[in-house]
A and B are shown apart, each in its own frame.
Chain A
């Protein structure tokens, strides 16, 4: 689960990490009031779960409170990478002497939290990492012992030679590690961590991603989810216990299992089509899931055909067939449905579908190429 910048700031601030003043606003009037309170030039920043906000026009400087209100009215409601901006963060424009990068991530390879820091911070940090990897210092932390004093020192000295700044950075490293562990993070990033002309060290932007698997046992974190900032169909899917990602094509896909769902989308592409979504109905055989899946997919007017690809292992294919029949009785599906079922109880599933005049196939390639042909004919 991605947090907004203002939510990430709240977590860092609570841990004692020095941040610029400022606050979050949902209206131009609120933005104006914050700008007046903090004084001077401010930055108005779109709060949206997407990278590249600045390049999309979602980050603007304002010299006066009135200008802050004006920028806020432009940014609020704008769409960045398909997501609507509902809130802006208003912070003072800091004077920057140096920019560093501090990231902490759960690393698959070392199976530990790993710090990455660089004194070449800012928006081009990935390019820095690709072209001059020696400018990135990495350090894996053993979670049994936590961040040890000499490790924090090593990280701080990779950023600053000034002792006062290095001491400030040591503290920030320890606080960031604490935020990471206490909130079940898979990513916590400060970029940039700046020094100002007067020498103080300040976090200007923060990103935090929380491991979705933490949310069941951490209701305090689960409430940070901002559903208004997500694709509505993806919110509906999550509420129905489905994993759904909306795409741009016209072949709606209903599949059991994430790997098979991805392989099905790949096969749609292989046969010259474009998938409209990723949808995993999971391993259970609950017919309600099929009904909900069909509702979500048919709500997208671009969908010209619906392709079921069900491999019955634990999932019983007759339950899926019943779900399809139930769904088509509850509401009219106006596009053709191509069904591929194989595995557990497939004979019963074929009978159920035939009894309502629907045909099923057992070969994945045949079903996918048929669905692509139907989508092309309807487009």
Chain B
């Protein structure tokens, strides 16, 4: 078992012939991911590296290959359209790696995919990996190993740092999910926590948050009510400058300044193990996983 991706994943890569898309497609294939198709409008009929058929549209790719998951590496201005295309082609899981997607675009994407029952991960995220089975996105496979720890994070390289600590100390991972750091993302902490909670292969959960917003506080509340597995957590940005903030709306809407202190306090109240440093993940899991 694992969360959302695994050996059953049949992946289509949107933007497969681009610089990022082609590089990471090679990495995903090398890791053992079943990449069944690529999409680049105008390049239909070609083969990517002689092994992956390229189509003009996602619908053609799905019809020909039975793809059930999509990963998107297109430029920011085209990302919203790529997500909507994947949704209309019947892909149930869409992972958008693209950074810099205008947030107003995402306000229109979210109801569109909700009506079609699609799960979106990202945008501006590193994707996800189920070690030993499949990786969708850009998380380096070499730092992961199969095991019982589920990891969910808003960051990219900080995720790798924590995974590196886990693997180096004998804690393998069930699935690692990078949900992305943008204001509007398709999948939040609570979605991933619920999946880890239901996944028999996941015995403990590591949650990596950042300053801004209230997603960590809401996740802590969810953990208090629903999650029985041990959870440890970190929030990056304790020393971030308060900034030259203008306007009042941000503070009014959330009733929170989104500081690391507030988030750690919520973690503490929910009984989550507090990582003061990334390296603390190891000692905390040792005491909590018995």
Of listed B106, B139, B154, B184, residue having the most chain A CB within 10 A: B184
Q: Map CB proximity to A onto B77-97 as digits: 1 under 8 Å, 0 otherwise.
A: 100000000000000000000
Q: Which residue of B lies closest to A191 (CB)?
A: B248
Q: Are B276 and A130 in contact (CB under 8 A)?
A: no
B241 partner, pick from A106, A136, A209, A247, beta carbons under 8 A = A247
Q: Say whether A172 faces chain B, with CB atoms less than 8 Å apart.
A: no
Please state if A125 and B111 are interface contacts (CB–CB under 8 Å).
no
Given contacts A108-B213, A260-B155, contact A130 B255 (CB under 8 A): yes
Contact pattern, A 72-104, Cβ under 8 Å of B = 1, otherwise 0: 000000000111000000000000000001011
Select from chain A the residue with minimum beta-carbon distance to B124. Answer: A213
Hey, which chain B residues are within 8 Å of A143, CB to CB? 104, 107-108
Partner of A189, one of B156, B158, B159, B248: B248
Tell yes or no: B183 within 8 A of A by CB. yes
Contacts of A81 in B (CB 8 A): 244
For B123, give the chain A residue with the smallest CB separation: A213
Question: By the criterion CB–CB under 8 Å, are B237 and A187 in contact?
Answer: no
Interface residue A268 (Cβ < 8 Å from any Cβ of B): yes
List residues of chain B with CB within 8 A of the CB of A255.
Answer: 157
Of A109-117, A152-160, A326-334, A348-356, the one contacting chain B is A109-117
**CA of A73 to CA of B69, assembled, Å:** 62
- Does B265 make an interface contact (CB < 8 A)? no
Q: In the complex, which residue of chain B has the Cβ closest to the Cβ of A256? A: B157
A213 touches B279 (CB 8 A): no
Q: Which residues of A contact B184 (CB under 8 A)?
A: 106, 108, 111
- Count the B residues whose beta carbon is within 8 Å of the partner chain — how many? 61
Q: Are B104 and A106 touching (Cβ within 8 A)?
A: yes
Contact A217 B102 (CB under 8 A): yes
Q: Determine the residue in chain B with the shortest Cβ distance to A141.
A: B107
Binary interface profile of A, 180-210, with partner B (CB < 8 Å = 1, else 0)?
Answer: 0100101101010000000000000001010
Question: Does residue A311 face the partner (Cβ distance < 8 Å to B)?
Answer: yes
The DSSP consensus for interface residues of chain A is mixed
* A217 to B107 Cα, complex, angstroms: 17
CB–CB B77/A216 < 8 A: yes
A112, A116, A213, A216: the one within 8 Å of B249 (CB): A116
Residue among B101, B140, B159, B183 making CB contact with A314, cutoff 8 Å:
B140
Determine whether B42 belongs to the interface, using a CB cutoff of 8 Å to chain A: no
Q: Is the CB of B277 within 8 A of A129?
A: no
Question: Is B254 close to A, CB under 8 A?
Answer: yes
Q: Would A187 and B215 count as touching, CB distance under 8 A?
A: no
Nearest chain B CB to A215's CB is how many angstroms away?
A: 9
CB contacts (< 8 Å) of B240 on chain A: these are: 262, 265, 278
Q: How far is the CA of A368 from the CA of B236 in the complex (A)?
A: 16
CA distance A144 to B210 in the complex (A): 30
- Please give the distance in Å from B210's CB to the nearest CB on chain A: 6
Known: A217-B77, A313-B143. A103 touches B278 (CB 8 A): no
Shortest distance in angstroms between A180's beta carbon and chain B's nearest beta carbon?
Answer: 9
> Known contacts being A49-B244, A313-B143, is A259 close to B251, with CB within 8 Å?
no
Say how far A41's CB is from chain B's closest CB, in angstroms: 26
Q: Is the CB of B244 within 8 A of A259?
A: no
Given contacts A49-B246, A51-B246, A259-B158, contact A213 B255 (CB under 8 A): no
* A213 touching B103, Cβ below 8 Å: yes
Complex interface bits, B234-269 against A, C-beta within 8 A gives 1, otherwise 0? 101111110011111111111100001000000000
Q: How far is the CA of A162 from the CA of B249 in the complex (A)?
A: 26
Q: Which among B155, B249, B276 is the interface contact of A187 at CB below 8 angstroms?
A: B249
1/0 per residue, CB under 8 A from B, across A325-348: the answer is 000000000000000001110000
Q: How distant is the Cα of A118 from the Cα of B111 in the complex, in angstroms? A: 29
Asked if B248 and A266 make an inter-chain contact with CB atoms under 8 angstroms apart, the answer reads no
Min CB–CB distance A372 → chain B (angstroms):
13
| Cβ contacts A290-312/B at 8 Å (1 or 0 each) | 00000000000000000000011
Q: Which residues of A contact B236 (CB under 8 A)?
A: 259-260, 262-263, 266
Within 8 A of B (CB), among A238-269: 245, 247, 255-260, 262-263, 265-269
A209 touches B153 (CB 8 A): no
Bound-state Cα–Cα, A191 to B76, Å: 33
B110: interface (CB < 8 Å): yes
Most chain A CB inside 10 Å of its own CB: which residue of B77, B161, B215? B161
* B255 interface neighbour in A104, A129, A191, Cβ under 8 Å: A129
- A105 interfacial contact with B, CB 8 Å: yes
A107 beta carbon closer than 8 Å to chain B: yes
Interchain CB contact (< 8 A) of A311 among B108, B138, B157? B157
Q: How far is the CB of A339 from chain B (nearest CB, A)?
A: 16
Q: Which of B150-167 contact A (CB under 8 A)?
A: 153-161, 164
Residues of A contacting B100 with CB < 8 Å?
A: 213, 216
Is B211 located at the chain interface by the 8 A CB criterion?
Answer: yes
Known: A113-B107, A130-B255, A138-B253. A260 touches B161 (CB 8 A): yes
Residue of A nearest to B243 (CB): A245
Contact B156 A283 (CB under 8 A): yes
Give chain A residues whose Cβ lies under 8 Å from the Cβ of B143: 313, 343
User: What residues of chain B lie closer than 8 Å to A247, measured between beta carbons?
Assistant: 241
- A365 on interface, CB distance cutoff 8 Å: yes
- For the A-B complex with A209-B246, A211-B103, A217-B102 known, give 5 more contacts whose Cβ atoms are closer than 8 Å: A108-B184, A108-B254, A129-B252, A245-B241, A258-B156
List 21 A-B pairs, Cβ < 8 Å. Answer: A2-B246, A51-B246, A103-B247, A103-B252, A105-B253, A116-B252, A125-B252, A129-B251, A129-B252, A133-B255, A136-B252, A144-B111, A181-B104, A213-B100, A256-B157, A257-B156, A263-B236, A268-B239, A270-B277, A312-B140, A313-B160
Closest 8 CB pairs of A and B: A259-B155, A257-B157, A259-B158, A103-B249, A262-B236, A105-B249, A260-B157, A313-B140
